[in-house]
Each structure stands twice: as C-alpha cells, then as structure tokens.
Chain A
Amino acid sequence: MGLTGLEIFKQLPKTNTGDCGFPTCLAFAMALAAGKTSLDKCPHVSEEAKEALGAAAAPPIKLVKVGTGDHAVEMGDETELFRHDKRFYHPTALAVLIEDTEDVAARVAAFDELEFDRVGLHFVTDMVALQCTSGDGAKFKAAAEAVAAGTQKPFVLICEDVAAMETAATAVADKKPLLYAATNDNYEAMTELAKKLECPLAVKGNGLADLADLVEKITKLGYKELVLDSGNRETSQVLADLTQIRRSAVRKRFRPFGYPAMAFTTKDDPMEEVVQAGVYLSKYAGMIVLKASKKEEILPLVSWRQNLFTDPQKPIQVEAKAVAVGDVTPDSPVYITTNFSLTYYIVEGEVEGSKVPAWIVPVNTDGISVLTAWAAGKLTGDSINKALKENDMESKVNHKTLVLPGYVAVLSGSTEEETGWKVIVGPREAAGIGKFAKDNFGK
C-alpha cells in the first residue's frame, strides 16, 4: 500500500482483538504498510475504511491496456509531474489516424512498415486510429476488419454513434481496441458496449469539469478501463488540461482523473502537427492521435519520446565490445571511448563521417561519459588496458597506437605504461574527429 502505517491505523477499529494475527491494530497497520499482510485478515474493519484504504492504495493513474499480445500498448500508471523527480514510465502511444473512407488496407500496410533504427534502438509507431468518417456502420466494420487483418498492432475505433460502433467493434472485439468515445449523449449505451466487449473506453467531456462528472457517471455503471479526453483542442488549452489531469491524479488523488489522458492533433500541415504533438508528448499525454505518417515526420517524435521516457538515474550503456566502423584493415586506427550510449554513438557518428575506417573500443565505465568516468576513476590506464586485452585488439591491428579522447590527455602517461601501446591525444570534442582523422590518418 502507498499509505504510512499511521494513516492506515486511523482507519482500523483500534480494538486490538488480535483476530488478524497481530497483537495490536498498530502492529497490523505497520505490517500492512510494509506489504507483509492483507486487509482482509481483519474481520472488523468497516466498509468505509475498506473503500478509503482501497482507493488510497490504488495507483494514482490506472494502467489501461489496448490491444493484445506482444504489441499491446499500456498507458497510465504514472506517478510524476517531472521526469527529474523519478521518471516517466509508459511512453506516449502514437496512433496514426486513418479514415474509413480511405483505402484502409493500403494505409494500414504503410503504417505497419513504419519502423526505424537509430543508436542501436528500434522505434515503431504503436497504433492505428480508425475513424468512422463515413457514418456507415457496415463500411466502418469492413474498415475495422481490414485494420485487424493488416496489422498486429492495437487500434482505436473512433465513432460516437453507438449503433455503428457496435457493428464494427463486435467484429474485432478480440483485438481489444480502444472505443472512442463515451460522451454525455451516449455514455450509458457506450459503456454497456465496452463492458460487454471488454474493450477499453475513451471518455470525451466538454472541458475538465464536465469530464470529471462524466467519468463519475461511467464508473458508477461499473466500468473503469478508461482513457480521458477533455474535449478541448486548442494547443494552449490542451496543455493546461493535460497538466490538470496529471496534477489532480498524482497530487490530489482525484479519482475521476485517475486514468491516462489522450490528445488529438488538429493541424493539417504534417510539420505543424509534429510540433503540436511534441507539446503533448512532453506534457502528460498517454496517447496522441495524429495524421502525419511519413518516416521523416514520425522519426523525430519517436526519438523525443524515447529520450523523455528514459530513467534519469540509469544511463543507457552499449556493450563494451570493440566495433569496426567501415572497412577496417590491420592498419586502421583505434579510438578509445566509454560505453555510455550517448558518448559511444556520437563518436561512432563522427568516425563514420570521417570516412577513415577505424576501430572504436568502448571501455566499460558503467555507462558514464569520458570526463565523468575519469573523475570517478573508472577511465584509467588500467581500465583501458583491460578493454584492449578483452577485445584482443593486438590481434586485430598490426600497430600499437591508440587515440585517447582529448579531455583525458592527462591519462597518456599511465595508459602507455599500462598498455605498452603508444598514445595519440585526440580531439576534445567528437566533432573534431573528422579533421583529426584527415590530418593523422588521411590518405
């Protein structure tokens, strides 16, 4: 439970019956707080207390899943307003909008091909959002089936007409699409449908106050697999709404907003859309529906998403294994760097750009950068020697010269001593590698 022992104790009968197996209610409360027992061990706790403790123990923002299998998307279960306070957990899902009046099969095929590799990571868009532009249930159903057939990835069905939604959703319910949306006008029937089909349900209000009321009505009907839409669309207002939803949930435990939030881009120009989506991605959207779908448009968004959702406490590392960049020969230079992902990939990019094939040996510094590793005593003549030996560099090149990052020129002497190799001091900034390679190794 997230509560302290004392907070729990306040809800207990304080009769010290011992029926729970603990000598006093306080002892039981402490054990509960530590997760060492469960509330149901106490036969005397009141219904109110049960609800209060249950609500407080639940995560501030519900985890909601869309889709099934390996590609299912999880949203919610966030606890922070700022990544620097701890981290963000569930990367914002990006849903590409397709209208049922388009060539759905072709659009889905193109969507499914949107995959990117950069810096050793693999990026994808996560979902399709299929909109019932036609207003025709049969057409919507056919389109939904085409989406389900064309991709393993989860999707959203966008239609506020319950009849049309029922026709389409029933046909693809096994894929657990997000049903968008329950509104003031249709929420009873839409909630029944979502319950019946066991699909998550989007809730669209007219502003935050109305949204809160609507969510309460829906949870009273017994459904909680919800995703929130304030109904506003203007950039500045959506920023405010997303901020309020996150704050209310995380800081005030305001239950009606304890669900992931979604946002829609409104721009026709794809570049403007990407910029607008960038705002929502940075600030609390669990999902964004957008039209832009070209590679050059999506790549920056998925990259920022990856950056934003990294754990600030844990730097990403690459394997401390020597890498050959280009067509190396036994004469090729050897660059020393660290296995901090960012450092490694920047150096690799520059070595590649220098057009002088070379080896890069990333020394294992527990994933920290050159200067920090040197300050922490993790980048030393000794650790460099270890890296050279572990990678058997002596058999890979016929020389014994290595390039040391310029910022740790001070390690030259000890590195030469430990390794028996000659040290050339390289540039301080990776950006200098191009010129450095040309001057030292150019043909």
Chain B
Amino acid sequence: MAFNAVKEKYRSKVGEVTLGATKEQGGTRGYTITVGGEGALPFLHFEGEIPNRPVVALEVWDHAPADWNACFDSYFGDVYNDAAAWAKKCVEEYGADLIVLRLKGADPDINDASPEDCAKVVKDVLAAVECPLVVLGCGKEEKDNQVLPVVAEETSGENLLIGVAEQENYKSLTAACMVHKHNIIAQSPIDINICKQLNILITEMNLPDDRIVIDPTIAALGYGLEYGYSIMERARNGALQGDKMLGLPMIGNVGFEVWRTKEANASVEDFPAWGEQEPRGILWEATTATALLQAGMDIVVMRHPKAASLIKQNIEELMVANEV
C-alpha cells in the first residue's frame, strides 16, 4: 500500500491586515508589516500558501512598571522611564518585529495620564522607531474611550493597530479607527460566538475587515492556555472553511499573561523543585508562545527578550517550506 499524502482543500484564506504606513502612504514608518493571509493550517506549507510569517512584538509601557519581575532590570532598567528609548532598545537590541505600547499610565488608579499626555508618548515612540506600532489602552473602559480616540486623531495616517474593542464597548474605538484610518483589535472572552459577533458589529459600522485583528484572550500556560488554543484552532479551521468573520489574523498578550503567574516569578528558594526562576520564566513564556503559534497566532506580544528570540527562531524554522 503506497503512501499518498492527505492534503486538505480549503475554500478560503485568512484575510490580511497591514500595520503601519510609510511616507508614501501617509505615515512615518520605515516599513510596514502584513499579517494573516494563510491558505493552510499553521505552517502546513504543503497544502496552501502561507505568505506572511507570524511576528513577535515586545511590550513597552508608558511609565516604569511597579510590578515587573526584577529579572527584567538588566534588560530594561535603564529605559523604564523613557518609553521611546525602551521601544528603540526593543527593536535595535532585542530584534522586536514591532512594538506594543501599553498606556497603563492612563489608568486612574495609576497615573491617570491625560489623553494628551498619552498621545504625546505615542508620538515619541513613533519617532524613535521605524517599525509599526500597536497601542493598547489601560484596560479601564471609560478612560480608554477618552484616551484612544485622541491617540487615533493625533496619529492619523500612521495606520496603528489600536486595542481593544469588546462586545459591550466597541463603538468609540471603531469610529476613531474609521475616521483616522487605523486598525482595531477586537477582543472576545474565549468565546468563538462573541468573537464572530463582535467582528460583525464592527464591520457593520463600515470598518472594513482588512483592518480587524482578533484577540481571543489567551491565558498563560497552566492557567487555561488550552482554552485559547482550542478557540483559535476552531477559528482558524472555520476561517479556512469559508467563515469570513473568523478569517482574520490573531494576536495574543503572551508576556502580559505569563509574567503574572507564580511559575514565571517564584524563586527557586520558595520552590526548589521548580528550578531557577529566570530560565523558568523565559521557558514559561516561550512554551506558551510556541503552543499558540501552532494554533495560528499571527502577532505574539512578548516581554522577555530571550523568550522573544527563541520564538523568532522557532518561527523562522517553521516557515521553511515542507513537502509530503
């Protein structure tokens, strides 16, 4: 009995989203990044086109974080107080494909930074790096609805990726992205139906689907990673079978989730059976990311430079064409 390769025939591809805009396109980026467009399940080059590789972002804050593990000091300690310098270091020294700027300082319980101050930080970061930029709010709905539209307006033409819109709170950000021509992160709570519904709501407001990136809300390894993983696999399968509202690139806050966990932070003195903290944290983050790449993640948002470099290498290897 001879072996005959089992190749799927898909009806559809994942849509592409392009981040950033060069001078010719009305922005100031040195280059743009396009994600999505897959015509096959993750890295199965033998049965479809995979035109764009997944990308690795490093996360930068608009102020020095109070709670990041001490192991980050040697990487970012000298730039924590300068978001622009921090972003620059992430790209130039640590090879980030793009930067995710989290405006945590806007949180009323942290710095309560004004929309204008936030917009300034965003522009400073834009000036410091050539790569496309993702901007996330502080996570407090009311404040983000004040901040993000101002950020969008002040950076009109830059084609940022801005987040997040949720089912109960998407109109303000969608309108801002439409008017100022940015891309939007549509976040759903590990629920494929809400994911689809939200994308429908956003496209009904006339934001085209080539400006939407899905955030299914992943969790860290050991804290529910498999839930996000399965939602993503279902979404990607649905996308390839023709479901347009699932046929969008996906993003995940890997660093943010992983570095909250005990397993990434606990000292070896407290948990001798778990081994050394920093390598453990790096591998907790890298294992989370490597799993999610297999489920179709397109933009992996990470924190530890070593974990990021491991994942970039993993992506490079997986983008080598395979044949059966």
Chain A contacts to B: CB under 8 angstroms? 82-84, 115-119, 208-209, 211-213, 216, 234-237, 239-241, 243-244, 247-248, 251-252, 254-257, 271-272, 274-276, 278-279, 282-283, 294-297, 299-301, 303-304, 307-308, 310, 312, 342, 345-346, 349, 352-353, 431
Q: Given the known inter-chain contacts A234-B317, A244-B324, A279-B318, please indicate yes or no for A297 contacting B283, CB distance below 8 A.
A: yes
Look across to chain B and name the residue whose beta carbon is closest to the beta carbon of A256. B1
A118, A248, A275, A349 — which one has the most chain B CB atoms within 10 A of its CB? A275
Q: A275-B287, A275-B290, A300-B221 are in contact. List 15 more A-B contacts (CB 8 A).
A: A83-B230, A84-B230, A84-B233, A118-B274, A235-B314, A236-B318, A236-B321, A239-B43, A240-B46, A240-B322, A251-B6, A272-B310, A299-B280, A299-B283, A304-B225
State A84–B318 Cα separation when bound (angstroms). 23
CB B1 to nearest CB in A, in angstroms, measures: 6
- CB contacts (< 8 Å) of A257 on chain B: these are 3
B123 within 8 A of A: no
Closest approach, in angstroms, between the C-beta of B114 and any C-beta of chain A?
Answer: 23
B2 proximity list for chain A (CB < 8 A): 209, 212-213
Nearest CB of chain B from residue A146's CB, rounded to whole Å: 25
**Contact partner, B221, options A211, A254, A303, A346, Cβ 8 Å:** A303
Q: Which of A295, A300, A307, A349 has the most C-beta atoms of chain B within 10 angstroms of its own C-beta?
A: A300
Query: Could you say which residues of chain A place their CB within 8 Å of the CB of B120?
Result: none
Picked from A237, A276, A279, A301, the residue with its CB within 8 Å of the CB of B294 is A279
Given A240-B324, A299-B280, do A116 and B274 touch, yes or no (CB 8 Å)?
A: yes
Q: Which residues of B contact A346 (CB under 8 A)?
A: 223
Q: Tell me the dominant secondary structure on chain A's binding face.
A: helix
Minimum C-beta distance from A31 to chain B (A):
31
CB of B214 within 8 A of chain A? no
Nearest Cβ distance between residue A104 and chain B, in whole angstroms? 23
Instruction: Identify which of A244, A274, A342, A345 contacts B283 (C-beta below 8 A).
Output: A274
Binding site for A on B (CB under 8 A): 1-3, 5-6, 43-46, 221-226, 229-230, 233-234, 237, 260-263, 273-277, 279-280, 282-284, 286-287, 290-291, 294-295, 306, 310-311, 313-314, 317-324
A216→B1 CA distance, assembly (Å)? 8
**In the complex, how many angstroms separate the beta carbon of B21 from the nearest chain A beta carbon?**
32
User: Given A275-B287, A275-B310, A300-B283, A236 and B226 touching (CB < 8 A)?
Assistant: no
Does A278 lie within 8 Å of B279, measured CB to CB? no
The smallest C-beta distance from A233 to any residue of chain B, in angstroms, reads: 11
Point out the residue from B6, B222, B294 that lies within 8 Å of A244, measured CB to CB. B6
A residues within 8 A CB of B280? Answer: 295-296, 299-300
Q: Are A236 and B3 in contact (CB under 8 A)?
A: no
Report A58 CB to chain B, min CB distance, Å.
15
**Docked complex Cα distance between A352 and B265 (Å):** 13
User: Which of A208, A212, A300, A342 contacts B1, CB < 8 Å?
Assistant: A212
Q: Which residues of A contact B323 (CB under 8 A)?
A: 237, 240
CA distance A170 to B295 in the complex (A): 44
State the Cβ distance, B246 to closest chain A Cβ, in Å.
14
Chain A: which residue is nearest B6 at the CB level? A247
Contact (Cβ within 8 A) B3 A212:
yes
> Do residues B276 and A83 form an inter-chain contact, with CB atoms below 8 A?
no
The minimal Cβ–Cβ distance linking A370 to chain B, given in whole angstroms, is 13
CB pair A301–B287 under 8 Å, yes or no, is yes
Across the interface, which residues of A come within 8 angstroms of B224, CB to CB? 342
Please state if B318 and A297 are interface contacts (CB–CB under 8 Å).
Answer: no
**Given known contacts A275-B286, A304-B287, is B3 in contact with A117 (CB within 8 Å)?**
no
B residues near A216, Cβ cutoff 8 Å: 1
| Nearest opposing residue in chain A for B282, CB measure | A271
B273: A residues at CB distance < 8 A: 115-117, 295
